[in-house]
Amino acid sequence: MPRPRLADVAAAAGCSTASVSLVLRGEPGPSEATRDRVLAAAEQLGYRPDRAASLLARRRSGMLGVVTDVRSTFHAELVEELLDASARRGFDLLIGARSPARDEERAVETLIDSRCEALLLLGTSGPAERLVALDGQVPVVAVSGRAGGVDGVRVDDERGTREATEHLLALGHRDVVHVDGGAGEIAADRCRGYVAAMTAAGLAPRVLRGGHGEADGAAAAADLGGATAVTVFNDRAAVGLLDALVRAGVRVPADVSVAGFDDSPLARLAHVDLTTVSQDVPALVANALDLVVARLDGVRAERREVVLAPRLVVRGTTSAPP
């Protein structure tokens, strides 16, 4: 018994393949009676549509293009979630890696070339006019990055570090420093949140030079001075800092409290147990896909930006000052 096709269902339901197609996709047209018969027949035969044929007939590719920065673990997380979430919505993912050498424009070209129906740019910082032009060709959504003129989804970074800092202040810390993430919009936002919380509390902010990686965080360990608490640009740098502190015999959180940003899997490890700010990757991804789908279905034309609230996750690396 070969697998049933549309025609088999049609035969069983006593109608045409056109009707079956309409019913199974929930399109308007067929009457209630036809609908019932078709659904019953499909169910009874265990019918499963053929994706390739469907895509072919509707002239779609079923592919979404993603441009990601190869070096970012946060992007890796986003991609992983995207892989899942987009599969659930019936899309395949084509991943275009961007690196210092191979810039975004190039990656985008390849993706468009490969019939992607829409593009998700992770952490893009391209000039607005380029993005808008691109958006003219194919729907574009900027995920976790500044979205100049195109749809975007991101977490409120400023609020994230602000809340982390406020958490430390509430614990009684006064000398709180921030290890920043170097250049870039996101690092600037996070730094701003820290500064805002400190100034609001009438305290003087102090920012240490940092970066995206473990080594950057570790390097900052020497400059803490008398600080009893630190907010760090991201989890990787925070873990580096943590490691340097432990090796130096500094107890965390007894002597120094540390808070990261991202809630990466790293932070969740039992023996790291880092207090951090969660970006809610699933929500970020789900929203991005919603935007994409809405555009593809032609439901919406105007630009939209979604800003999600960050969520402070308090774990074991923060406590009251010594």
Partner DNA sequence: GAAGGGCCTTAAAGCGCTTTAAGGTGCAGG
Partner DNA sequence: CCTGCACCTTAAAGCGCTTTAAGGCCCTTC
90 forms part of the interface with DNA (CB under 7 A): no
70 forms part of the interface with a second copy (CB under 8 A): no
Q: Return the residue matching tokens 């609230």.
A: 309
Q: Are 99 and 71 in contact (CB under 8 A)?
A: yes
59 forms part of the interface with DNA (CB under 7 A): yes
88 forms part of the interface with a second copy (CB under 8 A): no
Structure tokens at 91: 């899309």
235 forms part of the interface with a second copy (CB under 8 A): no
56 forms part of the interface with a second copy (CB under 8 A): yes
The string of DSSP letters for 136-179 reads HHS-EEEESS--SSSEEEEE-HHHHHHHHHHHHHHTT---EEEE
Rounded Cα gap, residues 57 and 241, in angstroms: 55
* Residue 268 Cα distances to 24, 105, 167, 265, 286, angstroms: 43, 35, 19, 5, 22
Cβ at position 160, least distance to a second copy in Å: 24
Q: Which of residues 1-40 bind DNA (CB under 7 A)?
A: 5-7, 14-19, 21-22, 24-25, 27, 29-31, 33-34
* Residue 58 Cα distances to 35, 54, 62, angstroms: 22, 6, 10
Largest CA distance in the chain: 82
Rounded Cα gap, residues 67 and 20, in angstroms: 38
User: 17 or 61: whose CB is closer to a second copy?
Assistant: 61
Cβ at position 127, least distance to a second copy in Å: 26
Q: Which of residues 192-221 bind a second copy (CB under 8 A)?
A: 214
Report what 242 binds from a second copy, DNA, none; CB cut-off 5-8 Å by kind: a second copy
Question: Which residue in the set 1, 26, 46, 58 belongs to the binding site for DNA (CB under 7 A)?
Answer: 58
Question: Which residue in the set 50, 105, 185, 223 belongs to the binding site for DNA (CB under 7 A)?
Answer: 50
User: 13 or 242: whose CB is closer to a second copy?
Assistant: 242
269 forms part of the interface with a second copy (CB under 8 A): yes
Rounded Cα gap, residues 223 and 216, in angstroms: 12
Strand order in the sheet with 92-98: 92-98, 63-69, 118-122, 140-143, 151-155, 305-308
270 forms part of the interface with a second copy (CB under 8 A): yes
Binding site for a second copy (CB under 8 A): 3, 46, 48, 50-53, 55-56, 61-62, 80, 83, 92, 113-115, 214, 239-240, 242-243, 246, 266, 269-271
Binding site for DNA (CB under 7 A): 5-7, 14-19, 21-22, 24-25, 27, 29-31, 33-34, 47, 49-50, 53-54, 56-59
